[in-house]
Every structure is written in structure tokens, then in C-alpha cells.
């Protein structure tokens, strides 16, 4: 059956970008209407109309006769022009495709590559209707206060490198997010979860397409509970999940955090796939692991293995030391803390 993709991409408006850039570049100054009009090649009344449109999206300006405009409020919602501005500031060259609603950003990345979009690129959304988690689970994705994003790469390397990649991505993203919440302790729970105070606030899902002996594409997706209120989460996850807002005590800037996370994903890709790091995975992991030294149970197929989590090996597998001293290597599955 032929299915039609009905999701709407909202592109960054060139004019909006130019106005916001002029105002954000000079936060303490007033930019005159004639300067903006000249930059855009339109009349001053037309500038007024553009500012009205931005006001409708939640931006606020102070306007002073004979001096011009100053930006006084930036709405904390995903906005493609703002995200593009912060991406340019960070030197991030990846194209960023924003969809207000999508089934799954991972699925959209796959569709975009089938339309021959040049990789790498990122898909960012405010709401997923079919967000996917690991092991066939659902990823609850209804809140526009959270982040749902995916990046697609075409690495053309042997498939073994894949496991590493998600672990490196977790390390780089955890470090990037930590800078926004200096008083909280962000940690990684093997293999793909980010935790704070024993509760999960982000999950990662890497999906790959392979040829006979090479990785054709990797889609790395992450969902981050950013500014949502954990009291409004579905009952089943309310006790297990948190958000960065909840642990920090105040809102985080959505567009800037999205760009920092995308930057971290690219750094992880360079570190892992292009070997651009001198750090060892086990050492970098040990500093951030929520499980190290803790008694845990790992599920390997039908088998439960109990032991003390003792870090990861160079391949990214979890090492579990059982009571009789045997070291078990867990390559995939779920791990829970033993109460
Ligand atoms: C997990 O913890 O089980 C992984 C969750 C991954 C969720 C993200 S949200 C963005 C991307 N698109 C998806 O459908 N899933 C990932």
C-alpha cells in the first residue's frame, strides 16, 4: 500500500533569522528600523509587520522612537530560526529540520535519506505520535517542553563500531547537559539512559542499516525530559522518571540545549568513528556511571545474573562481578539496581 507522509516541516524564515540575529548579536543595544529594513531589503513599515509576526510567536520587543528595537523576551519553545542562530554561533554545520509533530524523529531521518537528503542532518520535533524506545518500548513524547531529536550519519565502516557510538554519545551528552545544571549530578545508566538522583530523564536509541560488511546509516535518537513536569507523566513512569527542570529548579533554554546536544552527538561521532579522542571508554564511562560498585541484576535472555557493576570494557560491554568472583560480560539487555 502506498502511504503519504503528511508531517509538516517548518523551515527557518530567512527574514526572521536576519532580524533575530541582528537583535541577539547586540542584546544591550537598540537596532534601528532603517538598519533592519536595509538588511532585509524591505520598507520600515514592512519591518514592523515582521516584528508583529514574531510577537505572535511569543517574542517581545521594546521599541523607542528614533532609537529602534531591542529584544526583551525570547519564547522558550522550539523555533527553527532561533535554533539556527544558536547552531551558527556554535559552529554546527549540520542541517536542522524542524517538525512540530512527527511520528518518530528516527523514522523521519530514515525517510529523509530515502529522499536522498545529504547526511549528516538532524530531525528535531516538539511532539512524537509514535516515539520508540529500546526493546520495542514506547517513548512517551507528548510534551512540547521536552526534546525529541535524531541525527543521521552515513559512516561506511564495519558494524562493530556501533555499540561504542551510543556509549560515547551518552558520555558527551551527559557532559554537555551537566553544564546547564551545575548543582545536580547527571549520570549514565548502562547502556542508554541518562539519570539524575536515581530517576531517568533521557533515553537514547541508535538504529542502523547495514550492507554486507559496512554500516550504511546510523540514526541516533534521543528523548530528553527537559522542562516538563514529572507530576504529569503517565502513572507507570511517574516514580521512575524526572526532568532537568525538576532537578535544576528552573527552566532550561530549549533551543540552546538542542544545539548543545547536537554538538555533543557530533563530537561523539568524531571521537568514536573517526578515532578523534585520546580518552579510554572505560575510564570516561567510570566517571559518569550510575551503577559502578552497585549490586545489580542483568537480564541476559531468560537468565538473571546478579553481581557488582564493575564498569565497561573497551567494547562497551558491562562487567558484572558475581559473588564467587566470576566476571560476567553483558553485551545487551536491561540492568536494574538490586534493592
Ligand atoms: C529508551 O530509553 O528506551 C530510548 C528512548 C529513545 C527516544 C528517542 S526520542 C527521539 C528518537 N525518536 C524515537 O522514536 N525514539 C528516539
Which grid coordinates belong to 146?
521536552
pLDDT of res. 4: 59
The residue whose CA has the least distance to atom 16 of ligand 1 is 221
Please report, for the chain, how many H helices and E strands are present, in that order: 10, 14
Where is pLDDT greater, at 197 or 211? 197
In ligand 1, the atom with minimum distance to the C-alpha of 200 is 2
* Residue 206 CB less than 6 A away from ligand 1: no
* Residue 125 CB less than 6 A away from ligand 1: no
Q: Which of 99, 133, 136, 233 to mutate to test the pocket of ligand 1 (most atoms within 8 A of CB)?
A: 133
Which grid coordinates belong to 104?
518518530
Q: Where are the alpha helices (DSSP H) in the chain?
A: 14-25, 33-40, 44-56, 80-90, 105-114, 161-178, 235-238, 244-248, 254-273, 281-288
Centroid of ligand 1 to alpha carbon of 184 (angstroms)? 23
* pTM for this predicted structure: 0.95
Position 57 pLDDT exceeds 80: yes
Q: Decide if 217 contacts 151 (C-beta within 8 A).
A: no
CA–CA dist 190, 290 (Å, integer): 8
pLDDT of res. 2: 53
In ligand 1, the atom with minimum distance to the C-alpha of 223 is 9
* Residue 230 CB less than 6 A away from ligand 1: no
In ligand 1, the atom with minimum distance to the C-alpha of 106 is 12
pLDDT of res. 212: 81
**pLDDT per position as a tens digit, 112-148:** 999 999 999 999 999 999 999 998 999 999 999 999 9
Q: Decide if 219 contacts 270 (C-beta within 8 A).
A: no
Amino acid at each position: 500500500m502506498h502511504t503519504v507522509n503528511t508531517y509538516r516541516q517548518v523551515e527557518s524564515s530567512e527574514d526572521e533569522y536576519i532580524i533575530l540575529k541582528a537583535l541577539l548579536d547586540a542584546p544591550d543595544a537598540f537596532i534601528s528600523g532603517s538598519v533592519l529594513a536595509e538588511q532585509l531589503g524591505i520598507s520600515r513599515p514592512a519591518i514592523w509587520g515582521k516584528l508583529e509576526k514574531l510577537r505572535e510567536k511569543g517574542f517581545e520587543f521594546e521599541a523607542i522612537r528614533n532609537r529602534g528595537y531591542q529584544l526583551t523576551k525570547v519564547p522558550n519553545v522550539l523555533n527553527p530560526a532561533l535554533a539556527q542562530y544558536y547552531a551558527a554561533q556554535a559552529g554546527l554545520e549540520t542541517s536542522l529540520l524542524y517538525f512540530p509533530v512527527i511520528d518518530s524523529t528516527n523514522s523521519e531521518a530514515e525517510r529523509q535519506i530515502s529522499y536522498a537528503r545529504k547526511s549528516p542532518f538532524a530531525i528535531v520535533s516538539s511532539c512524537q505520535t509514535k516515539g520508540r524506545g529500546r526493546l520495542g518500548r514506547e517513548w512517551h513524547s507528548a510534551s512540547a517542553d521536552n526534546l525529541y531529536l535524531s541525527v543521521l550519519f552515513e559512516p561506511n565502516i564495519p558494524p562493530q563500531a556501533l555499540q561504542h557510538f551510543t556509549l560515547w554519545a551518552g558520555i558527551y551528552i551527559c557532559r554537555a547537559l551537566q553544564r546547564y545544571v551545575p548543582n545536580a549530578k547527571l549520570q549514565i545508566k548502562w547502556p542508554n539512559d541518562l539519570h539524575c538522583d536515581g530517576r531517568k530523564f533521557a533515553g537514547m536509541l541508535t538504529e542502523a542499516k547495514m550492507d554486507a560488511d559496512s554500516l550504511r546509516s546510523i540514526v541516533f535518537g534521543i528523548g530528553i525530559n527537559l522542562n516538563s513536569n514529572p507530576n504529569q507523566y503517565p502513572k507507570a513512569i511517574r516514580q521512575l522518571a524526572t526532568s532537568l527542570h525538576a532537578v535544576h529548579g528552573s527552566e532550561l533554554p530549549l533551543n540552546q540545549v538542542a544545539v548543545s546536544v547536537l554538538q555533543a552527538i557530533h563530537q561523539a561521532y568524531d571521537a568514536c568513528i573517526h578515532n578523534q579522542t585520546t580518552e579510554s571508554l572505560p575510564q570516561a564511562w567510570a566517571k559518569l556511571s550510575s551503577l559502578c560498585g552497585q549490586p545489580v541484576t542483568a537480564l541476559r535472555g531468560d537468565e538473571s545474573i546478579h553481581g557488582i557493576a564493575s564498569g565497561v570494557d573497551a567494547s562497551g560491554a558491562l562487567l558484572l562481578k558475581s559473588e564467587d568472583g566470576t566476571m560476567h560480560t553483558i553485551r545487551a539487555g536491561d540492568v536494574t539496581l538490586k534493592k
